[in-house]
Copies of this chain bind each other. A is one copy, B any other.
Amino acid sequence: MPYDPSAFPPFAVTVDLVVLTVRRHALCALAVRRGEPPYQGRWALPGGFVRGDEDLSTAAARELAEETGLHAHDPAGPLLPNAAHLEQLATYGDPKRDPRMRVVSVAHLALAPDLPAPRAGGDARSVRWAPVEDLLDQEVGYAREDEQAAPLAFDHARILADGVERARSKIEYSSLATAFCPQEFTVGELRRVYEAVWGVALDPRNFHRKVTGTPGFLVPTGGTTTRQGGRPAQLFRAGGATLLNPPMLRPEA
């Protein structure tokens, strides 16, 4: 069969971002308020069209920088202060997911340390960090005028749920939890990341033994800090290891 441009239907391709961070002991996601129909006024995940000459990962990194000022972490490059982990999550292409036209969205997952404040992009849209529980529990019982309580636009609740599940399982067997921490952090801060992402309490003593005993996970910087109160804690940086063997174990049930 010869090449026939009319043999395939045209699609719009977008990237949507699930940007996660840990704030005040809660897992939070970045949400932007939509300024135009459909779903005008509702909250949605940040995202945008892929340009004609752009790779998917490039488009995702560009959107991330526009929305947050963060840049994607290059594993080969130097350690930079404002770097976030960025990876492809999944692609969503239900024919009816956007009422305007056929849109295929390649969702990406970004993990960032706690940022001072969300920074609006070039335009003046509202941007906020919201606990993922709040964003996901709004599917039912939305009746009031409260715009904060409306479900996410499009299929973004599903995308967010998939991203959260990916993050929850990936910190089990990789060192990705350090992506939620500043460059230097304590064992206790890392433990609070696990507790926030998994929504469980972990034994500080066993956690300390586990992470300090896993080769390549943490490297001590020599410094200490007392910013959490209590006895000063050693500061660490993320080690070179990306896969944890044996993995961290998420408590049952």
A50 CA / B36 CA spacing, docked (Å): 29
Closest residue of chain B to A103 (Cβ to Cβ) is B8
The contact sample of 17 A-B pairs, CB cut-off 8 A, is: A1-B36, A3-B37, A8-B14, A8-B50, A10-B11, A10-B12, A11-B12, A11-B13, A11-B50, A11-B104, A13-B93, A52-B95, A52-B102, A53-B95, A55-B93, A91-B91, A93-B106
Residues of B with C-beta under 8 A to A37: 3
**Interface positions of A (Cβ within 8 A of B):** 1-3, 5, 7-14, 36-37, 49-56, 88, 90-95, 100-102, 104, 106
Q: How far is the CB of A155 from chain B (nearest CB, A)?
A: 12
Q: Is the interface of A mostly helix, strand, loop or mixed?
A: loop
Report yes or no: A3 in contact with B100, Cβ–Cβ below 8 A.
yes
Report yes or no: A54 in contact with B95, Cβ–Cβ below 8 A.
yes
Contact of A91 among B1, B2, B54, B106 (CB under 8 A): B106
Residues of B with C-beta under 8 A to A91: 56, 88, 91, 106
Residues of B with C-beta under 8 A to A55: 93-95
Contact of A12 among B8, B51, B56, B106 (CB under 8 A): B8
Q: How far is the CB of A71 from chain B (nearest CB, A)?
A: 20
Closest residue of chain B to A95 (Cβ to Cβ) is B53
Q: How far is the CB of A161 from chain B (nearest CB, A)?
A: 15
Residues of B with C-beta under 8 A to A92: 56
Residues of B with C-beta under 8 A to A102: 52
